[in-house]
């Protein structure tokens, strides 16, 4: 039985990845800074909390990471932890950089010191690219991040690449474009839209306030994206992969789809709020997943309109 350690198991991706690995016969260890205080709501929603070994591990504390890896000796490590909101990163840039870049560095240093043969997955982000070229960003597209979150993810990406090349550590990064599900926290715009639209459909007189609705994003379905993560650690040599649908849609299109599913015209319920505009933002973000299709045999099946429908339904243990 393979043993996988997931840092950030309490988040959307961590919960879905834990389910995927359990279904593949893994023993799964999930970490949180304080496992006794964390709710692990995603694991509870998916009905798998009791199947995951939950431990405390602080990624920014080298000793904590060392103890966890010495005790549990995982075959695979998935680093999904760290401050995960682009918007919040403008307000908490230091916490964002420390939790993402330093956390990744600590895991890599422990692997180096222990001479571990564990395979390491690093959760990178499309935010590293900034504006993407026609045809979508590939694994060789330049990084030009436009947020502290993107800068932190780019730092972690190059740290992984350096440790792979310098020390022969089996490590890779998945450069994931936006991926959504009912497990997204409401601070993410897709869940904010979903929850507000459901309340309005139920009779609420509230107005949905959004920033720039003309931004374009490559939106995928999170349960599919974690399958790509797991597949990345099964190939012979570590490679980085862009994981995306290859399609873009504006936030306006997403909002319109959600409200239409509920029989509503979004224009009657949505306002643009200048206070919600970011200091800098990406107008268009699109990925080219050709390498993932060719090597991992992975392809996104769920596209934007279906994502809107699925997010209107509650997450359940059987939902995929």
Distance CA 78, CA 228 (A): 12
Query: Is 125 marked active-site?
Result: yes
Rounded Cα distance, 52 and 117, in Å: 23
Active-site annotation holder among 78, 149, 163, 266: 149
111 and 62 Cβ atoms separated by less than 8 Å: no
CA distance 222 to 227: 9
CA distance 66 to 75: 15
Name the phi and psi angles at 288, rounded to 5.
-110, 105
Rounded CA-CA distance 9/78 in Å is: 9
Report which secondary-structure segment, H or E, holds 93.
helix 93-97
Catalytic residue among 10, 116, 125, 257: 125
Which of the residues 7, 32, 116, 127 is marked catalytic?
127
Type and span of the H or E element at 28: strand 27-32
**Catalytic residue status for 127:** yes
28 strand-pairing partners: 4
In angstroms, the CA 314 to CA 310 distance is 8
Catalytic residues: 125, 127, 149
């Amino acid at each position: 039985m393979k043993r996988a350690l997931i840092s950030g198991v309490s988040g959307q991706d961590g919960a879905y990845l834990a389910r995927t690995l359990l279904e593949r016969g893994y023993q799964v260890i999930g970490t949180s800074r304080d496992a006794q205080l964390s709710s692990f709501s995603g694991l509870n929603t998916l009905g798998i909390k009791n199947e995951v070994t939950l431990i405390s591990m602080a990624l920014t504390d080298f000793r904590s990471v060392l103890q966890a890896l010495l005790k549990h000796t995982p075959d695979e490590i998935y680093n999904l932890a760290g401050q995960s909101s682009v918007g919040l990163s403008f307000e908490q840039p230091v916490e964002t950089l420390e939790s993402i870049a330093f956390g990744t560095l600590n895991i890599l240093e422990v692997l180096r010191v222990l001479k571990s043969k564990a395979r390491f997955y690093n959760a990178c982000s499309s935010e590293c690219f900034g504006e993407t070229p026609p045809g979508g960003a590939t694994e060789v597209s330049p990084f030009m991040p436009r947020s502290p979150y993107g800068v932190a993810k780019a730092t972690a990406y190059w740290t992984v690449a350096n440790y792979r090349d310098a020390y022969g550590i089996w490590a890779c990064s998945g450069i994931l474009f936006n991926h959504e599900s009912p497990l997204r926290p409401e601070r993410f715009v897709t869940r904010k839209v979903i929850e507000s639209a459901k309340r309005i459909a139920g009779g609420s007189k509230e107005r949905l306030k959004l920033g720039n609705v003309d931004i374009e994003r490559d939106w995928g379905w999170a349960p599919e994206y974690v399958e790509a993560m797991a597949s990345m650690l099964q190939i012979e040599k570590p490679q980085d992969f862009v994981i995306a649908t290859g399609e873009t849609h504006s936030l306006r299109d997403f909002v319109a789809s959600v409200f239409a599913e509920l029989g509503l015209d979004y224009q009657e319920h949505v306002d643009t709020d200048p206070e919600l505009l970011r200091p800098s933002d990406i107008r268009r973000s699109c990925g080219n997943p050709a390498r993932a299709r060719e090597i991992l045999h992975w392809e996104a099946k769920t596209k934007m309109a279906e994502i809107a429908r699925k997010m209107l339904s509650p997450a359940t243990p059987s939902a995929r």
